[in-house]
Structure 1
Amino acid sequence: MSYDFRDKVIAVTGGAGGIGSAMCRRFASGGAQCVVVDIDEVRAKKVAEELPGGGHFGVGCDLMDWAQIEQLFERIGEEYGRLDVLVNNVGMTSTERFDERDIASIEREITLNTTSPLVTTRLAIPLLWKSRDPRVISTVSLAGIFPQGETPVYCASKFGLRGAMLSIGLDLREKGILAGSVLPSATDTPMLRQEAVEGGNSMQFLEPPQQPSDVVAAVVSMLDKPRLEAYARPSESFSARLAMLVPNLLPKILPFFRKRGDRGVVRYLEDLERRGLARRNGGSWELVPER
Protein backbone atom coordinates (compact mmCIF):
# COMPACT_ATOMS: atom_id res chain seq x y z
CA MET A 1 0.00 0.00 0.00
CA SER A 2 1.14 3.56 -0.69
CA TYR A 3 1.77 5.76 2.32
CA ASP A 4 -0.86 8.46 2.76
CA PHE A 5 0.95 11.77 3.31
CA ARG A 6 -2.23 13.80 3.75
CA ASP A 7 -2.18 15.84 6.98
CA LYS A 8 0.86 13.97 8.30
CA VAL A 9 3.34 16.01 10.35
CA ILE A 10 6.88 15.26 9.19
CA ALA A 11 10.08 16.78 10.60
CA VAL A 12 13.25 16.60 8.48
CA THR A 13 16.61 17.49 9.98
CA GLY A 14 19.16 18.91 7.56
CA GLY A 15 15.99 19.96 5.78
CA ALA A 16 17.51 22.86 3.86
CA GLY A 17 20.20 20.70 2.24
CA GLY A 18 20.07 18.98 -1.13
CA ILE A 19 18.55 15.71 0.07
CA GLY A 20 16.52 17.21 2.91
CA SER A 21 14.83 19.87 0.79
CA ALA A 22 14.00 17.26 -1.88
CA MET A 23 12.37 15.14 0.83
CA CYS A 24 10.33 18.07 2.08
CA ARG A 25 9.08 18.91 -1.42
CA ARG A 26 8.02 15.31 -2.00
CA PHE A 27 6.25 15.03 1.35
CA ALA A 28 4.51 18.40 0.97
CA SER A 29 3.36 17.56 -2.56
CA GLY A 30 1.57 14.56 -1.07
CA GLY A 31 -0.24 16.72 1.47
CA ALA A 32 2.07 16.51 4.50
CA GLN A 33 2.87 19.41 6.82
CA CYS A 34 6.64 19.73 6.99
CA VAL A 35 8.94 21.03 9.69
CA VAL A 36 12.17 22.00 7.94
CA VAL A 37 14.95 21.80 10.54
CA ASP A 38 18.39 23.17 9.71
CA ILE A 39 21.23 24.98 11.43
CA ASP A 40 20.75 27.71 8.79
CA GLU A 41 17.47 29.28 9.89
CA VAL A 42 17.22 31.57 6.86
CA ARG A 43 17.50 28.67 4.42
CA ALA A 44 15.14 26.50 6.50
CA LYS A 45 12.45 29.18 6.40
CA LYS A 46 13.00 29.75 2.67
CA VAL A 47 12.55 26.05 1.91
CA ALA A 48 9.40 25.94 4.06
CA GLU A 49 7.94 29.01 2.37
CA GLU A 50 8.43 27.50 -1.08
CA LEU A 51 6.76 24.17 -0.28
CA PRO A 52 3.37 23.43 -1.84
CA GLY A 53 0.33 23.40 0.40
CA GLY A 54 0.24 24.98 3.84
CA GLY A 55 1.04 24.42 7.48
CA HIS A 56 4.82 24.19 7.05
CA PHE A 57 7.46 26.02 9.01
CA GLY A 58 11.24 26.27 8.98
CA VAL A 59 13.28 26.46 12.13
CA GLY A 60 16.94 27.01 12.91
CA CYS A 61 18.32 24.40 15.28
CA ASP A 62 21.83 23.37 16.26
CA LEU A 63 21.41 19.61 16.54
CA MET A 64 24.47 19.33 18.75
CA ASP A 65 22.73 21.45 21.37
CA TRP A 66 20.33 19.18 23.26
CA ALA A 67 18.43 22.12 24.76
CA GLN A 68 17.68 23.43 21.27
CA ILE A 69 16.35 20.02 20.24
CA GLU A 70 14.04 20.02 23.25
CA GLN A 71 12.80 23.48 22.25
CA LEU A 72 12.24 22.22 18.70
CA PHE A 73 9.89 19.49 19.86
CA GLU A 74 8.15 21.82 22.26
CA ARG A 75 7.32 24.04 19.29
CA ILE A 76 6.19 21.10 17.16
CA GLY A 77 3.95 20.03 20.04
CA GLU A 78 2.48 23.52 20.29
CA GLU A 79 1.89 23.75 16.52
CA TYR A 80 0.59 20.26 15.78
CA GLY A 81 0.20 18.29 19.00
CA ARG A 82 2.00 15.27 17.55
CA LEU A 83 4.72 14.09 15.17
CA ASP A 84 3.98 11.40 12.60
CA VAL A 85 7.41 10.98 10.99
CA LEU A 86 10.89 12.02 12.08
CA VAL A 87 13.56 11.93 9.38
CA ASN A 88 17.10 12.15 10.77
CA ASN A 89 18.88 13.47 7.71
CA VAL A 90 21.56 15.79 9.12
CA GLY A 91 25.19 14.88 8.47
CA MET A 92 28.68 16.12 7.70
CA THR A 93 32.02 14.86 6.43
CA SER A 94 35.57 16.11 6.00
CA THR A 95 38.33 15.51 3.47
CA GLU A 96 41.04 15.88 6.13
CA ARG A 97 43.00 12.67 6.58
CA PHE A 98 42.89 10.98 9.96
CA ASP A 99 46.53 11.62 10.85
CA GLU A 100 46.06 15.35 10.18
CA ARG A 101 42.76 15.99 11.96
CA ASP A 102 42.45 17.75 15.27
CA ILE A 103 40.59 15.98 18.07
CA ALA A 104 37.81 18.57 18.20
CA SER A 105 36.88 17.92 14.55
CA ILE A 106 36.67 14.16 15.21
CA GLU A 107 34.40 14.73 18.19
CA ARG A 108 32.21 17.15 16.22
CA GLU A 109 31.67 14.75 13.33
CA ILE A 110 30.83 11.80 15.58
CA THR A 111 28.48 13.98 17.64
CA LEU A 112 26.57 15.33 14.65
CA ASN A 113 26.39 12.12 12.62
CA THR A 114 25.79 9.58 15.39
CA THR A 115 24.92 11.02 18.77
CA SER A 116 22.64 13.77 17.47
CA PRO A 117 20.21 11.47 15.58
CA LEU A 118 19.97 9.25 18.66
CA VAL A 119 19.24 12.19 20.97
CA THR A 120 16.79 13.66 18.45
CA THR A 121 14.95 10.36 18.17
CA ARG A 122 14.81 9.93 21.93
CA LEU A 123 13.44 13.43 22.51
CA ALA A 124 10.86 12.98 19.73
CA ILE A 125 9.30 9.86 21.24
CA PRO A 126 6.64 11.61 23.39
CA LEU A 127 5.29 13.36 20.28
CA LEU A 128 5.61 10.24 18.14
CA TRP A 129 3.50 8.28 20.61
CA LYS A 130 0.69 10.76 19.97
CA SER A 131 0.59 9.68 16.31
CA ARG A 132 -1.57 6.83 15.10
CA ASP A 133 1.27 5.57 12.91
CA PRO A 134 4.62 6.90 14.17
CA ARG A 135 7.75 6.44 12.07
CA VAL A 136 11.46 7.23 12.32
CA ILE A 137 13.76 7.10 9.29
CA SER A 138 17.47 7.91 9.41
CA THR A 139 19.74 8.66 6.47
CA VAL A 140 22.82 6.52 7.05
CA SER A 141 25.18 5.74 4.11
CA LEU A 142 26.86 2.84 2.40
CA ALA A 143 29.83 4.07 4.43
CA GLY A 144 27.97 2.44 7.31
CA ILE A 145 28.73 -0.91 5.68
CA PHE A 146 31.90 -0.42 3.68
CA PRO A 147 35.09 1.21 5.07
CA GLN A 148 36.64 4.15 3.26
CA GLY A 149 40.27 4.80 4.08
CA GLU A 150 40.08 8.51 3.27
CA THR A 151 37.16 9.18 5.62
CA PRO A 152 37.46 6.88 8.68
CA VAL A 153 35.66 9.23 11.06
CA TYR A 154 32.68 9.49 8.71
CA CYS A 155 32.66 5.70 8.41
CA ALA A 156 32.86 5.31 12.19
CA SER A 157 29.91 7.65 12.63
CA LYS A 158 27.81 5.85 10.02
CA PHE A 159 28.76 2.34 11.18
CA GLY A 160 27.62 3.44 14.63
CA LEU A 161 24.40 5.03 13.41
CA ARG A 162 23.51 2.00 11.33
CA GLY A 163 23.98 -0.36 14.26
CA ALA A 164 22.06 1.90 16.61
CA MET A 165 19.13 2.28 14.22
CA LEU A 166 18.92 -1.47 13.64
CA SER A 167 18.74 -1.94 17.42
CA ILE A 168 16.30 0.92 17.92
CA GLY A 169 14.15 -0.44 15.11
CA LEU A 170 13.91 -3.79 16.87
CA ASP A 171 13.21 -2.20 20.25
CA LEU A 172 10.64 0.43 19.22
CA ARG A 173 8.73 -1.93 16.93
CA GLU A 174 7.46 -3.71 20.04
CA LYS A 175 6.33 -0.33 21.39
CA GLY A 176 4.42 0.84 18.33
CA ILE A 177 7.04 2.98 16.54
CA LEU A 178 8.45 1.77 13.22
CA ALA A 179 12.08 2.82 12.73
CA GLY A 180 14.53 2.14 9.92
CA SER A 181 17.28 3.60 7.77
CA VAL A 182 18.08 4.38 4.16
CA LEU A 183 21.67 3.78 3.02
CA PRO A 184 22.47 5.89 -0.04
CA SER A 185 25.78 5.90 -1.86
CA ALA A 186 27.40 9.10 -3.16
CA THR A 187 24.68 11.65 -3.92
CA ASP A 188 24.96 14.80 -6.02
CA THR A 189 24.66 17.40 -3.26
CA PRO A 190 26.69 20.46 -2.21
CA MET A 191 28.49 18.26 0.35
CA LEU A 192 29.66 15.81 -2.33
CA ARG A 193 30.66 18.65 -4.68
CA GLN A 194 32.80 20.15 -1.93
CA GLU A 195 34.37 16.77 -1.33
CA ALA A 196 35.15 16.37 -5.04
CA VAL A 197 36.94 19.72 -5.39
CA GLU A 198 38.89 19.15 -2.16
CA GLY A 199 40.14 15.74 -3.26
CA GLY A 200 37.99 13.48 -1.11
CA ASN A 201 37.40 9.76 -1.36
CA SER A 202 37.57 8.72 -5.03
CA MET A 203 35.94 5.37 -4.26
CA GLN A 204 32.61 7.19 -4.14
CA PHE A 205 32.86 7.88 -7.86
CA LEU A 206 33.06 4.36 -9.28
CA GLU A 207 29.62 5.10 -10.70
CA PRO A 208 28.02 8.51 -11.44
CA PRO A 209 26.57 9.92 -8.21
CA GLN A 210 22.89 9.32 -7.66
CA GLN A 211 20.44 12.19 -7.36
CA PRO A 212 18.61 13.38 -4.22
CA SER A 213 15.41 12.09 -5.83
CA ASP A 214 16.85 8.56 -5.63
CA VAL A 215 17.27 8.90 -1.86
CA VAL A 216 13.79 10.37 -1.55
CA ALA A 217 12.39 7.39 -3.45
CA ALA A 218 14.09 5.05 -0.97
CA VAL A 219 12.56 6.96 1.96
CA VAL A 220 9.10 6.84 0.38
CA SER A 221 9.52 3.11 -0.23
CA MET A 222 10.20 2.66 3.50
CA LEU A 223 7.03 4.55 4.33
CA ASP A 224 5.11 2.40 1.84
CA LYS A 225 6.66 -0.81 3.15
CA PRO A 226 8.24 -0.41 6.62
CA ARG A 227 11.48 -2.35 7.16
CA LEU A 228 14.79 -1.92 8.94
CA GLU A 229 16.85 -0.85 5.91
CA ALA A 230 16.43 0.29 2.31
CA TYR A 231 19.01 1.10 -0.34
CA ALA A 232 18.82 3.70 -3.08
CA ARG A 233 21.04 1.47 -5.24
CA PRO A 234 20.51 -2.16 -4.20
CA SER A 235 23.24 -3.43 -6.54
CA GLU A 236 25.89 -1.27 -4.82
CA SER A 237 24.75 -2.38 -1.39
CA PHE A 238 25.04 -6.03 -2.44
CA SER A 239 28.58 -5.49 -3.70
CA ALA A 240 29.59 -3.70 -0.50
CA ARG A 241 28.19 -6.41 1.74
CA LEU A 242 29.78 -9.12 -0.38
CA ALA A 243 33.19 -7.46 -0.10
CA MET A 244 32.84 -7.27 3.67
CA LEU A 245 32.64 -11.05 3.87
CA VAL A 246 36.41 -11.03 3.34
CA PRO A 247 37.63 -7.75 4.89
CA ASN A 248 41.25 -8.94 5.03
CA LEU A 249 41.33 -8.88 1.24
CA LEU A 250 40.39 -5.18 1.06
CA PRO A 251 44.01 -3.93 0.87
CA LYS A 252 44.47 -6.06 -2.25
CA ILE A 253 41.07 -5.36 -3.80
CA LEU A 254 40.79 -1.60 -3.41
CA PRO A 255 43.78 -0.53 -5.58
CA PHE A 256 42.07 -2.11 -8.60
CA PHE A 257 39.05 0.13 -8.07
CA ARG A 258 40.85 3.32 -7.06
CA LYS A 259 41.99 4.20 -10.59
CA ARG A 260 38.44 3.80 -11.82
CA GLY A 261 37.28 6.03 -8.98
CA ASP A 262 39.89 8.66 -9.85
CA ARG A 263 38.55 8.75 -13.41
CA GLY A 264 35.05 9.05 -11.99
CA VAL A 265 36.04 12.12 -9.98
CA VAL A 266 37.36 13.81 -13.12
CA ARG A 267 34.12 13.03 -14.99
CA TYR A 268 32.06 14.37 -12.11
CA LEU A 269 34.07 17.61 -11.90
CA GLU A 270 33.75 18.09 -15.65
CA ASP A 271 30.00 17.55 -15.34
CA LEU A 272 29.85 20.16 -12.55
CA GLU A 273 31.76 22.54 -14.82
CA ARG A 274 29.23 22.02 -17.63
CA ARG A 275 26.44 22.74 -15.17
CA GLY A 276 28.13 25.93 -13.99
CA LEU A 277 28.70 24.58 -10.48
CA ALA A 278 32.50 24.26 -10.51
CA ARG A 279 35.43 25.76 -12.38
CA ARG A 280 39.14 25.20 -12.85
CA ASN A 281 41.44 27.50 -10.93
CA GLY A 282 44.95 26.89 -12.13
CA GLY A 283 45.78 23.29 -11.39
CA SER A 284 42.88 22.78 -8.99
CA TRP A 285 39.11 23.03 -8.89
CA GLU A 286 36.74 25.24 -6.92
CA LEU A 287 33.00 25.52 -6.54
CA VAL A 288 31.18 28.44 -8.12
CA PRO A 289 29.61 30.50 -5.30
CA GLU A 290 25.84 30.21 -5.12
CA ARG A 291 23.87 33.34 -5.94
Structure 2
Amino acid sequence: MLKEKVALITGSTSGIGLATAHVLAQQGINLVLHGLVSATEGQALANDFIAQYGINAIFDDADLQDVASIERLITKAISTMGSVDILVNNAGIQHTQSAESFPLEKWNAIIAINLSAAFHAIQFALPAMKRQGWGRIINVASVHGLVGSVNKSAYCAAKHGLVGLTKVLALECAEQGITVNAICPGWVDTPLINDQISAIAKQQDSSFEQAKYQLVTAKQPLPEMMAPAQIGEFILFLCSDSAKSITGAALPMDGAWTAQ
Protein backbone atom coordinates (compact mmCIF):
# COMPACT_ATOMS: atom_id res chain seq x y z
CA MET A 1 0.00 0.00 0.00
CA LEU A 2 2.87 2.39 0.79
CA LYS A 3 5.37 1.02 -1.74
CA GLU A 4 6.30 3.70 -4.28
CA LYS A 5 4.59 6.48 -2.34
CA VAL A 6 6.74 9.60 -2.03
CA ALA A 7 7.78 10.99 1.36
CA LEU A 8 9.32 14.41 1.84
CA ILE A 9 11.13 14.67 5.18
CA THR A 10 12.59 17.99 6.26
CA GLY A 11 15.78 17.79 8.28
CA SER A 12 16.50 14.28 7.07
CA THR A 13 20.29 14.26 6.83
CA SER A 14 20.73 13.40 10.52
CA GLY A 15 18.94 12.38 13.73
CA ILE A 16 15.21 11.63 13.71
CA GLY A 17 14.77 12.62 10.08
CA LEU A 18 17.51 10.36 8.77
CA ALA A 19 16.33 7.42 10.88
CA THR A 20 12.78 7.95 9.59
CA ALA A 21 14.06 8.03 6.02
CA HIS A 22 15.64 4.60 6.52
CA VAL A 23 12.48 3.16 8.06
CA LEU A 24 10.31 4.42 5.19
CA ALA A 25 12.80 3.39 2.50
CA GLN A 26 12.75 -0.16 3.85
CA GLN A 27 9.06 -0.24 2.83
CA GLY A 28 9.82 0.89 -0.72
CA ILE A 29 8.78 4.50 -0.14
CA ASN A 30 10.56 6.99 -2.40
CA LEU A 31 12.25 9.91 -0.68
CA VAL A 32 12.83 13.64 -0.94
CA LEU A 33 15.66 14.29 1.50
CA HIS A 34 16.41 17.72 2.90
CA GLY A 35 18.99 19.18 5.24
CA LEU A 36 21.86 21.48 6.04
CA VAL A 37 24.56 19.82 3.97
CA SER A 38 26.02 20.73 0.60
CA ALA A 39 24.20 19.72 -2.57
CA THR A 40 27.03 17.28 -3.30
CA GLU A 41 26.80 15.62 0.13
CA GLY A 42 23.02 15.56 -0.05
CA GLN A 43 22.90 13.91 -3.45
CA ALA A 44 25.53 11.40 -2.30
CA LEU A 45 23.21 10.52 0.58
CA ALA A 46 20.28 10.17 -1.82
CA ASN A 47 22.40 7.90 -4.02
CA ASP A 48 23.18 5.73 -0.98
CA PHE A 49 19.43 5.28 -0.39
CA ILE A 50 18.89 4.42 -4.05
CA ALA A 51 21.65 1.80 -3.94
CA GLN A 52 20.64 0.32 -0.58
CA TYR A 53 16.86 0.15 -1.03
CA GLY A 54 16.23 0.30 -4.77
CA ILE A 55 14.00 3.35 -4.42
CA ASN A 56 14.01 6.77 -6.05
CA ALA A 57 15.51 9.57 -3.96
CA ILE A 58 16.50 13.19 -4.44
CA PHE A 59 17.96 15.86 -2.17
CA ASP A 60 17.19 19.55 -1.71
CA ASP A 61 18.82 22.11 0.59
CA ALA A 62 15.89 24.56 0.79
CA ASP A 63 16.20 27.38 3.32
CA LEU A 64 13.20 26.84 5.58
CA GLN A 65 13.27 30.47 6.69
CA ASP A 66 12.44 31.53 3.14
CA VAL A 67 8.89 30.94 1.87
CA ALA A 68 9.91 31.00 -1.81
CA SER A 69 12.53 28.34 -1.09
CA ILE A 70 9.91 26.12 0.57
CA GLU A 71 7.59 26.53 -2.40
CA ARG A 72 10.45 25.58 -4.72
CA LEU A 73 11.14 22.49 -2.58
CA ILE A 74 7.55 21.24 -2.83
CA THR A 75 7.25 22.11 -6.52
CA LYS A 76 10.51 20.32 -7.31
CA ALA A 77 9.46 17.27 -5.32
CA ILE A 78 6.13 16.97 -7.15
CA SER A 79 7.55 17.65 -10.61
CA THR A 80 10.51 15.29 -10.16
CA MET A 81 8.93 12.49 -8.13
CA GLY A 82 5.32 12.77 -9.30
CA SER A 83 3.77 13.54 -5.93
CA VAL A 84 4.31 14.24 -2.26
CA ASP A 85 2.12 11.66 -0.54
CA ILE A 86 3.74 11.84 2.89
CA LEU A 87 5.01 15.09 4.38
CA VAL A 88 7.08 14.84 7.55
CA ASN A 89 7.80 18.26 9.03
CA ASN A 90 10.77 17.32 11.16
CA ALA A 91 13.36 20.10 10.86
CA GLY A 92 13.91 22.11 14.01
CA ILE A 93 16.41 24.23 15.91
CA GLN A 94 16.78 25.10 19.57
CA HIS A 95 18.15 27.87 21.76
CA THR A 96 17.80 28.12 25.54
CA GLN A 97 17.80 31.45 27.38
CA SER A 98 15.50 33.32 29.74
CA ALA A 99 12.61 35.12 28.05
CA GLU A 100 13.73 38.58 29.12
CA SER A 101 17.12 38.18 27.47
CA PHE A 102 16.13 35.93 24.56
CA PRO A 103 17.75 37.25 21.33
CA LEU A 104 15.27 38.47 18.74
CA GLU A 105 17.11 36.73 15.90
CA LYS A 106 16.96 33.39 17.76
CA TRP A 107 13.24 33.82 18.43
CA ASN A 108 12.54 34.62 14.77
CA ALA A 109 14.64 31.69 13.49
CA ILE A 110 13.05 29.15 15.84
CA ILE A 111 9.50 30.27 15.00
CA ALA A 112 10.33 30.30 11.29
CA ILE A 113 11.94 26.86 11.10
CA ASN A 114 9.99 24.98 13.78
CA LEU A 115 6.52 26.36 13.00
CA SER A 116 6.11 28.62 9.98
CA ALA A 117 8.05 26.31 7.66
CA ALA A 118 5.67 23.45 8.50
CA PHE A 119 2.67 25.66 7.70
CA HIS A 120 4.10 26.76 4.36
CA ALA A 121 5.13 23.23 3.37
CA ILE A 122 1.64 21.95 4.18
CA GLN A 123 0.02 24.82 2.30
CA PHE A 124 2.04 24.09 -0.85
CA ALA A 125 1.65 20.29 -0.63
CA LEU A 126 -2.09 20.15 0.12
CA PRO A 127 -3.57 20.83 -3.33
CA ALA A 128 -1.88 17.77 -4.87
CA MET A 129 -2.82 15.60 -1.88
CA LYS A 130 -6.45 16.70 -2.21
CA ARG A 131 -6.49 15.96 -5.95
CA GLN A 132 -5.35 12.38 -5.35
CA GLY A 133 -7.58 11.94 -2.29
CA TRP A 134 -4.79 10.62 -0.06
CA GLY A 135 -2.10 12.12 2.11
CA ARG A 136 -0.28 11.78 5.39
CA ILE A 137 1.09 14.82 7.20
CA ILE A 138 3.16 14.15 10.30
CA ASN A 139 4.50 17.07 12.29
CA VAL A 140 7.37 16.20 14.61
CA ALA A 141 6.50 18.40 17.56
CA SER A 142 7.85 17.67 21.04
CA VAL A 143 6.81 17.03 24.59
CA HIS A 144 7.35 20.80 24.71
CA GLY A 145 4.30 21.13 22.51
CA LEU A 146 2.34 19.89 25.53
CA VAL A 147 4.24 21.26 28.53
CA GLY A 148 6.66 24.08 29.24
CA SER A 149 10.26 24.22 30.46
CA VAL A 150 12.23 27.20 31.67
CA ASN A 151 14.46 29.00 29.17
CA LYS A 152 12.64 27.49 26.19
CA SER A 153 10.12 30.22 25.36
CA ALA A 154 10.58 30.16 21.59
CA TYR A 155 10.83 26.38 21.31
CA CYS A 156 7.74 25.79 23.46
CA ALA A 157 5.80 28.50 21.63
CA ALA A 158 6.69 26.97 18.26
CA LYS A 159 5.92 23.39 19.29
CA HIS A 160 2.63 24.34 20.97
CA GLY A 161 1.81 26.18 17.76
CA LEU A 162 2.63 23.09 15.72
CA VAL A 163 0.19 21.05 17.81
CA GLY A 164 -2.51 23.67 17.25
CA LEU A 165 -1.79 23.76 13.53
CA THR A 166 -2.09 19.98 13.42
CA LYS A 167 -5.58 20.09 14.93
CA VAL A 168 -6.83 22.75 12.51
CA LEU A 169 -5.47 20.95 9.44
CA ALA A 170 -6.96 17.64 10.59
CA LEU A 171 -10.39 19.28 10.76
CA GLU A 172 -9.98 20.93 7.36
CA CYS A 173 -8.79 17.70 5.70
CA ALA A 174 -11.07 15.20 7.45
CA GLU A 175 -13.11 14.41 4.32
CA GLN A 176 -10.18 14.51 1.90
CA GLY A 177 -8.44 11.22 2.73
CA ILE A 178 -5.66 13.17 4.44
CA THR A 179 -4.63 12.65 8.05
CA VAL A 180 -2.63 15.18 10.04
CA ASN A 181 -0.93 14.26 13.31
CA ALA A 182 1.77 15.54 15.63
CA ILE A 183 4.30 13.34 17.40
CA CYS A 184 5.54 14.69 20.73
CA PRO A 185 8.82 12.97 21.69
CA GLY A 186 10.56 13.32 25.02
CA TRP A 187 14.26 12.52 25.23
CA VAL A 188 15.66 11.16 21.97
CA ASP A 189 19.15 9.69 21.80
CA THR A 190 20.81 11.89 19.18
CA PRO A 191 24.34 13.32 19.03
CA LEU A 192 22.93 16.77 19.87
CA ILE A 193 22.24 15.62 23.42
CA ASN A 194 25.74 14.33 24.05
CA ASP A 195 27.28 17.75 24.68
CA GLN A 196 24.65 18.48 27.31
CA ILE A 197 25.29 15.14 29.02
CA SER A 198 29.06 15.62 28.90
CA ALA A 199 28.71 19.05 30.52
CA ILE A 200 26.68 17.57 33.38
CA ALA A 201 29.21 14.77 33.85
CA LYS A 202 32.10 17.25 34.00
CA GLN A 203 30.26 19.60 36.34
CA GLN A 204 29.39 16.81 38.78
CA ASP A 205 32.49 14.68 38.25
CA SER A 206 30.33 11.70 37.29
CA SER A 207 30.33 9.19 34.45
CA PHE A 208 28.61 9.87 31.14
CA GLU A 209 26.00 7.19 31.89
CA GLN A 210 25.28 8.61 35.35
CA ALA A 211 24.84 12.07 33.88
CA LYS A 212 22.59 10.71 31.16
CA TYR A 213 20.39 8.96 33.73
CA GLN A 214 20.16 12.16 35.77
CA LEU A 215 19.23 14.27 32.75
CA VAL A 216 16.51 11.89 31.59
CA THR A 217 14.88 11.12 34.93
CA ALA A 218 14.73 14.77 35.93
CA LYS A 219 11.81 15.00 33.49
CA GLN A 220 10.54 11.55 32.52
CA PRO A 221 9.96 8.46 34.71
CA LEU A 222 11.18 6.00 32.05
CA PRO A 223 14.96 6.12 32.58
CA GLU A 224 16.03 5.77 28.96
CA MET A 225 16.05 7.78 25.79
CA MET A 226 14.28 6.70 22.64
CA ALA A 227 16.21 5.64 19.57
CA PRO A 228 15.42 7.90 16.58
CA ALA A 229 14.27 4.84 14.60
CA GLN A 230 11.44 4.31 17.10
CA ILE A 231 9.97 7.62 15.97
CA GLY A 232 10.43 6.53 12.37
CA GLU A 233 8.49 3.32 13.09
CA PHE A 234 5.67 5.34 14.65
CA ILE A 235 5.59 7.63 11.61
CA LEU A 236 5.37 4.54 9.38
CA PHE A 237 2.39 3.32 11.42
CA LEU A 238 0.65 6.68 11.05
CA CYS A 239 1.05 6.34 7.27
CA SER A 240 -0.63 2.93 7.24
CA ASP A 241 -4.29 2.05 6.71
CA SER A 242 -4.39 0.88 10.33
CA ALA A 243 -4.04 4.51 11.41
CA LYS A 244 -6.43 6.13 8.92
CA SER A 245 -8.83 7.11 11.71
CA ILE A 246 -6.07 8.74 13.77
CA THR A 247 -6.00 12.40 12.85
CA GLY A 248 -5.71 15.67 14.74
CA ALA A 249 -3.82 13.94 17.54
CA ALA A 250 -0.82 15.11 19.54
CA LEU A 251 0.78 11.79 20.37
CA PRO A 252 3.33 11.69 23.23
CA MET A 253 6.34 9.40 23.00
CA ASP A 254 7.74 10.71 26.23
CA GLY A 255 8.38 7.96 28.79
CA ALA A 256 5.40 9.18 30.88
CA TRP A 257 6.77 12.76 31.07
CA THR A 258 3.29 14.26 30.50
CA ALA A 259 1.54 11.63 32.64
CA GLN A 260 2.81 13.32 35.78
TM range (shorter): 0.7 to 0.9
Amino acid at match of 2:21: C
What is the alpha-carbon distance in structure 1 between the residues aligned to residue 239 and residue 164 of structure 2? 20
Q: Corresponding residue for 2:204?
A: none
| 2:61 matches 1:64 | no
CA distance in 2, matches of 1:214, 1:230: 17
Question: In structure 1, what is the Cα distance between the partners aligned to 2:219 and 2:234?
Answer: 19
Note closer, same or farther for the CA distance 1:196–1:96 as it changes in structure 2 (3 Å cut).
farther
Three-state SS of the structure 2 residue aligned to 1:106 is helix
For residue 85 of structure 1, report the CA deviation from its aligned partner.
Answer: 0.7
Q: Match for residue 270 of structure 1?
A: none
The residue aligned with 1:192 is 193
CA gap of 1:131–1:27, structure 2 versus 1, over 3 A, is farther
1:8 maps to 5
State the Cα distance separating 1:235 from its structure 2 match.
5.1
Aligned runs of 1:146-225 on 2, under 5 Å?
146-197=147-198, 202=215, 203-204=218-219, 207-224=223-240, 225=243
Structure 2 segments unaligned to the other structure (5+ residues): 201-213
Please tell me the root mean square deviation across aligned C-alpha atoms, in Å.
Answer: 2.3
Could you tell me how far 1:205 is from its partner in structure 2?
6.6
Residue identity in the other structure for 2:36: I
Describe the superposition over 1:112-151 as per-residue Cα deviations: whole angstroms up to 9, x where unpaired. 1111101111011123234342111110111111111132
Structure 1 spans left out of the alignment, 5+ residues: 244-291
Q: Which residue of 2 aligns with 1:50?
A: 48
Code of the aligned partner of 2:154: V
Query: Which of structures 1 and 2 has the larger relative contact order (alpha carbons within 8 angstroms, sep 6+)?
Result: 2
The residue type paired with residue 80 of structure 1 is: M
Give the SS at the match of 1:173.
coil
Question: What is the one-letter code of the residue matched to 2:178?
Answer: I
Match of 2:210 in 1: none
Q: Which moved more, 1:129-138 or 1:85-94?
A: 129-138
Distance in 1, Cα, partners of 2:15 & 2:142: 15
TM-score, normalising length: structure 2: 0.82
- Is the Cα contact below 8 Å between 1:21 and 1:47 reproduced in 2? no
Change (3 A) 1:93 1:194: farther
- Computing the radius of gyration from Cα coordinates, the structure with the larger value is 1
Cα distance change of structure 1 residues 176 and 190 upon mapping to structure 2, 3 Å threshold: same
Structure 2 counterparts to residues 103-114 of structure 1, below 5 A: 103-114=104-115
Shift of 1:230: 5.8
TM-superposed CA distance for 1:28, in Å, is: 1.0
Quick one: which of 17, 20, 27 aligns to 1:20?
17
Q: Identity rate of aligned residues, in percent?
A: 22
Distance 2:17 2:132 in 1: 22
CA–CA separation in structure 2 for the residues paired with 1:208 and 1:169: 32
| Equivalent position amino acid for 2:224 in 1 | P
Question: How much has 1:233 moved relative to structure 2?
Answer: 3.1
CA deviation vs aligned residue, 1:228-283 (integer Å, no higher than 9, x gap): 336463652xx51x55xxxxxxxxxxxxxxxxxxxxxxxxxxxxxxxxxxxxxxxx
Aligned mates of 1:205, 1:198 — CA distance in 2: 20
The answer (yes or no) to whether the contact 2:137–2:181 under 8 Å persists in 1 is yes
The 1:141/1:173 distance shift into structure 2, 3 A limit, reads same
Number of aligned residues: 236
Alpha carbons of 1:75 and 1:81: their partners in 2 closer, same or farther (altered >3 Å)?
A: same
Equivalent residues of 2:70, 2:117 under 8 A apart = no
| Distance of aligned partners of 1:95 and 1:234 in 2 relative to their CA distance in 1, 3 Å threshold | closer
- Gap change, CA 1:193 and 1:176, over 3 Å in 2: same
Measure how far apart 1:176 and its partner are. 3.3
State the distance in 2 between where 1:25 and 1:154 align.
27
Q: Could you say if the C-alpha distance between residues 73 and 94 of structure 1 is closer, same or farther in structure 2, counting changes exceeding 3 Å?
A: same
Is contact 2:6-2:84 (8 Å) kept? yes
* Residues 187-213 of structure 1: CA deviation (Å, up to 9, x unaligned): 1113333444567x9445763221101
Aligned residue number for residue 267 of structure 1: none
Task: Report the Cα distance in structure 2 between the residues aligned to 1:195 and 1:143, rounded to whole angstroms.
Answer: 18
